[in-house]
Structure 1
Amino acid sequence: MAAPGSVSAAFQEYLQHLGLQDFPCGFGSWNKSRLNALRSPRAEPAGLEEAVPPGEETPEALLELLRDRHSPWALPPDCSPQERLLREVAALAPELLRGSGVFQAVRSLRILDKGVEEVDEGLLRFQQLEELVLSANRIRRVTSAHLPRTLKVLELCCNAVDDLQDLCARPPPELQHLGLGYNRLCGPSQEKYFTMDFWPNLVSLDLSFNSLTDLLELVSQLSTLQNLHILVLQGNPLALIPTYRGFLVDSLPKLSILDDIHVWPEERQRFHGLARQPELMRSEARVVVSIGEMKGLPNPEDFQQLEVGSEGPVITYSYCVTYEFTEGEEPEDRGSPEGKKIHQSPTVAMLDVDSSAQDTGETKSHQEPAATEEPKAHSAKVFATRGQPWADTIDCSYRKEHIAKDLVGLKSYLEAGTIVSVVEEKVLSWPVDPEENTVPNKREGQELKKNGAKKKQKKKKKQQREFRSDPPIRSTLGTARVTLETLLATEDLVATVCDFGILIPEKPPESPVLEEKEVKKGKDKSKNAEAGKGGLASRKTAATPTPKGKNKDTAEVEEGQELQLVPLTVQFQMQLLRWPLAASTQSQENVAVGKTQ
């Protein structure tokens, strides 16, 4: 009996699914006369139709039950041609499939997503097998001694294969296609197995979406495959190198299809000579992030309730867009001066502002938790555009080029996607009473009084009032995930408009009555901060996005005043630079930032 989780066990289950011994296939009362004829050849009548006794089915009737799409015994439309053939043979000549006959009849075996873990020696019973497809299973190792020597196609896509040593011990000599996409092959130990010594007749090779990193070593091995015409390497970290495609096209002159794209003579001529310049094959990727216009921010002034008074704070708002990028990049900052880096922290990132008076440690203590995200396999830093005051349309004009040297980390980052957020920064500035910081000396006071300068000094200080600023209060107004997986395939650009929904800031409560002494002396800082977040603020610090379908006429700030609500959107673009780089960088002018693909 076949071991559970083996190919043989899956094949037995497959045969039961086909029902080759059940009506209308196989031997039974529906064609008993043919079974008797098989046992007694001399009694076989001349005419088969005449020999069918009452109660039995003719071969034509059995075939009709199998082929009619309305029949309850019909196979689904997406079944393989071999499944149809086996059932028809089981109906017309069931004796051919008795015993080991079924293994002789199978030339193509497809067992998909059946939990197979082992390629056992039971496969050797398929002496005519040419195609073996075991995709979407749990196979980690394949022993070549268990594979029929007649095999021409071996497909192991979407498994857990991490080592090819057992497969290459004695591989099928006639194999023409080897599919190992979406597995766990890591370099540089696996590149050595893709040579003519193991696969002399290989025409097509799929190694997509593994973790191969050494392009030079891999190409040196692939160049020995004289019959290789189709190659798929997209999704590997090495495919993120700018000169990746050009180097392969020039190094493998017999390639006709690379990553599902035809290699035309014009492209081969374009990259001619690149294979002789290995110094260009630096193991790094270049990614350009651009952020365009931001629209849909509610105006803070529309929600301010406190009447402007001499003792009230001055509130300033600024807005920026943040995004995550993988941590394994070159330390040198080659971005535009518009952007500023945010240092990653467990909660929310902290902006490096231009002002030299900003206290980094103090700001950290006033961070607000960011939106909860699922844990990622990669580590990332957060970058931000320059903070700008409110406007109907804020043009961020942000462009930054990232140099990523950790290609494996970059692949994980692109698979997970990036997080784009809109961050609001609010600063409350309070007037400072000169008496709070100045304690006049008695003697100096007498001298000022004598000279008549005391009144002048007070008047001057009144006109030039000083303010002290609270630490900035940052809040995330909206967060969106941008999918970047297409950059791992053949796409070079992801351009989208992040839609954060409609923000409706809630009407703040009535401003509390502040005691004059507390405002003047500034003794109770917590109460002042609370007042700034409540009655003194223009809105709640963490506005909740509202579904797009919400009635726009329901949000009123004051009686008779309505807000025109539009979704908060940000134009975001990420481009993976390919070789030649000059041709890629011109997309900043030719491709509009925010164009949705």
Structure 2
Amino acid sequence: MQLLTDMSSNTLSAELEKQIRRLCLNDFPCGYGTWRRNKDSTEGAETEETDALLDLLSCPHSPWRHDESWSPQAPALRQLAVLTPERLHTDFIYNYFTTLRIIGKGVSIVDNGLLKFSKLEELVLSANNISEIPAENLPRTLKILELHANKLSALNSLTNHPPPRLQYLGLGSNRLGSRYDVCYLTGRHWPQLVCLDLSDCEFQDQRALLNALRTLPFLRTLVLQGNPFTLAPSYPGFTVDSLPQLSCLDASWIAPEERRCFRGLVDKTDLMVDRASATVRVGRLRGIPDPEMKMDENAPDFPVITYSYFITYEFLSHQTVNLKLDGSSEVVTEDGFSDADLQSDNNCEKESSKPDTQEETCHDITHVSKRSTSKLLWSECMDLSDIKTYIVSDLGHLKRFFKRGLHLSVEEEKVLSWPAASEEVLVTKPSRTAKEKKGRKGKESPIKSGSTKDKPKDKKKKSVPELVQDAPIRRVLGSVHVPLQRLVKTGQKVNVLCDLGVLHTESEVEATQTLEKDHGKKIKEDKKKDKESKQRGGSGTKQKNTSASKGKGKGRKECDMDVPTGDSVSIPLEPVTVELSVELEKWQSASEAHEAPTPKLLNTSR
């Protein structure tokens, strides 16, 4: 039996030949051979009955049982090779297959060898490296074509005389989305198409795509989730109203009530805005240890230390770049879209319509920037209540951002406050030592025993002085990555309780570092003394050093045991958590679309 030959290893024909050869249609227990028992042959140990040979093909522990998931016709073909091996000639084998599933085999070329499968109806080529499929290499009998997760970047080769009976076309997770691709998704190219999968592609122009899909007369099932335009408020309502014959959208049946809710939306094209509205809410922050819990009660009055806490996270921001004729550029950055941003958009459109003699041009850029919430003083539960709505026009960039997710951090701000320099307030001088304090007591005693007239003046001098703050000291207490892929797929809202783990106060960290340093110094001193004792020699000194070292060892153990039995261990600490939600605006009805505020009003920060 002679099958496909002389083909590159990355072609579809080469992979199919490999799979057919693995069926062993001419080898034991299939095909002709001395192992077959017939009427003329005598019984012997080297021959098997037909039923026994069939059992070898299906028995789970049989070494002759092969993986046949690539085609449901493969096991039936092997049985025929046992029962009637005389029927298995080359053309019969090719024509026997109606379904082929070659998944993740590194196929990059669909060659004309596939035409030998003249009765093929289903072809699944998911997760390969195919960049184009010549339609002339596809059998005309094909009804199902699955090309999910390949490297297709254009549809022109596929739509050049495609299979006329094709009912299902899967193009998900490919680099498709240009206006040229939209032109090839019409009823002229696919007159019998019933199901179409365009999920996780790069289509951004919802109106143009739906105008093309409207020409597919038999389209009933459509998958569009994962495309950038599905992040806009008008999805899925505009899709449902644009395709009245559609029964299923994104794996969900379209109920009659849903269709009635969006009725009339397709006629309101002025409401179609290719922008997404994403609202980020930062709620309660819990689990931060009290920074004053470990402070020394005998510490000086100054400096006054205050701690405040806030959240920072990354999100998309709008940036307008003014390019001038002299080559210079002016960058205007805003935290999300504002009224000024939208006015800048209009100016950019006006500038682009001017002749080339213009002095400068505007370009809008969307980039990732950091957002900070308001600062709150420490409490067990700090309700930040930070709400920010972002209007993003670059839907492709927003899709990539959601797939990466955002990074959230908890930060602490420490501020030292000192009394302002004054000749009257001498008692608040921070550089005074303990000895000076003792000396001052004697000098201040006569003032205390003075007349009553002096007392009010003394009170004024000792009143709370004006404080001057140092530059704030900030440190990041912890960070966490928040996945947002669900917003690209099916989710409209993501609620997350971010867990940053258990944190320790700054004083606890410093105390731990000090204990480690002291412990290291003691070990070095003990080693040094041991060396000196060895150099001096003598039994008396050895005994002294030995007893001394034992005593020191006990002291060290007691000291080491005192550390973990402190107050910090007795009180269990809870992890630091932050409430976060990211929600995409979606119109739930046509009336809601009419009542929706303009993009200017959507950009709010509260």
Provide the TM-score with structure 2 as the length reference: 0.72
Aligned residue for 2:384, secondary structure, equals strand
1:208 is displaced (CA, Å) by 0.3
1:99 is displaced (CA, Å) by 2.6
CA distance in 1, matches of 2:295, 2:142: 76
Aligned to 1:494: 494
Aligned to 2:110: 119
Q: Is 1:131 paired with 2:122?
A: yes
CA distance in 2, matches of 1:59, 1:85: 15
Aligned to 2:314: 324
Aligned residue for 2:180, secondary structure, equals coil
Aligned to 1:477: 477
CA distance in 2, matches of 1:266, 1:313: 67
CA contact (8 A) 1:154 1:175 kept: yes
Q: Counterpart amino acid of 1:16?
A: R
Aligned to 2:596: none
Aligned to 1:101: 92
CA distance in 1, matches of 2:398, 2:42: 70
CA contact (8 A) 1:434 1:461 kept: no
CA contact (8 A) 1:557 1:563 kept: no
Q: Counterpart amino acid of 1:4?
A: S
Q: 1:402 to 1:559 in 2, by over 3 A?
A: closer
Q: 1:503 to 1:133 in 2, by over 3 A?
A: same
Aligned to 1:288: 279
Q: 1:8 to 1:335 in 2, by over 3 A?
A: closer
CA deviations on 1:135-188 (whole Å, 9 max, x unpaired) are 001111111111111111110001110100111111111110000000100222
1:417 is displaced (CA, Å) by 1.0
Aligned to 2:372: 384
CA distance in 2, matches of 1:473, 1:16: 71
CA contact (8 A) 2:70 2:101 kept: no
Q: 1:462 to 1:215 in 2, by over 3 A?
A: same
Aligned to 1:590: none
Q: 1:126 to 1:308 in 2, by over 3 A?
A: same
1:322 is displaced (CA, Å) by 1.9
CA distance in 2, matches of 1:554, 1:235: 58
CA contact (8 A) 2:316 2:336 kept: no
CA contact (8 A) 1:328 1:409 kept: no
CA contact (8 A) 1:335 1:400 kept: no
| Aligned pairs, number | 473
Aligned to 1:403: 391
Runs of at least 5 residues in structure 1 that lack an aligned partner in the other structure: 34-47, 337-377, 439-453, 513-552, 585-597
Q: 1:217 to 1:557 in 2, by over 3 A?
A: farther
1:397 is displaced (CA, Å) by 1.5
Q: Counterpart amino acid of 1:224?
A: T
1:162-561 map, 5 Å: 162-305=153-296, 307-310=298-301, 312-328=302-318, 379-434=367-422, 460=460, 463-505=463-505, 506-509=508-511
1:555 is displaced (CA, Å) by 8.5
CA distance in 2, matches of 1:428, 1:511: 22
Aligned to 1:526: none
CA deviations on 1:114-142 (whole Å, 9 max, x unpaired) are 11111111111111111111000111111
Q: 1:404 to 1:108 in 2, by over 3 A?
A: same
Aligned to 1:577: 585
CA contact (8 A) 1:492 1:575 kept: yes
Aligned to 2:14: 9
CA distance in 1, matches of 2:490, 2:569: 51
CA contact (8 A) 1:306 1:511 kept: no
RMSD: 3.3
Aligned to 1:21: 26
CA deviations on 1:538-578 (whole Å, 9 max, x unpaired) are xxxxxxxxxxxxxxx99969569833301111111111111
Aligned to 1:339: none
CA distance in 1, matches of 2:563, 2:266: 64
CA distance in 2, matches of 1:189, 1:458: 87
Aligned residue for 2:510, secondary structure, equals coil
CA contact (8 A) 2:408 2:480 kept: yes
CA deviations on 1:344-368 (whole Å, 9 max, x unpaired) are xxxxxxxxxxxxxxxxxxxxxxxxx
1:93 is displaced (CA, Å) by 2.6
CA distance in 2, matches of 1:112, 1:511: 56
CA distance in 2, matches of 1:9, 1:139: 14
Q: For the pair shown, which has the larger CA radius of gyration, 1 or 2?
A: 2
Q: Is 1:67 paired with 2:58?
A: yes
CA contact (8 A) 1:305 1:511 kept: no
Aligned residue for 1:320, secondary structure, equals strand
CA contact (8 A) 1:319 1:423 kept: yes
1:49 is displaced (CA, Å) by 5.2
1:104 is displaced (CA, Å) by 1.3
CA distance in 1, matches of 2:52, 2:194: 44
CA contact (8 A) 2:313 2:406 kept: yes
Aligned residue for 1:90, secondary structure, equals helix
Q: Is 1:57 paired with 2:48?
A: yes
Provide the TM-score with structure 1 as the length reference: 0.73
Aligned to 2:575: 567
Runs of at least 5 residues in structure 2 that lack an aligned partner in the other structure: 1-5, 321-332, 339-365, 427-453, 515-560, 594-606
1:304 is displaced (CA, Å) by 2.2
CA distance in 2, matches of 1:25, 1:184: 44
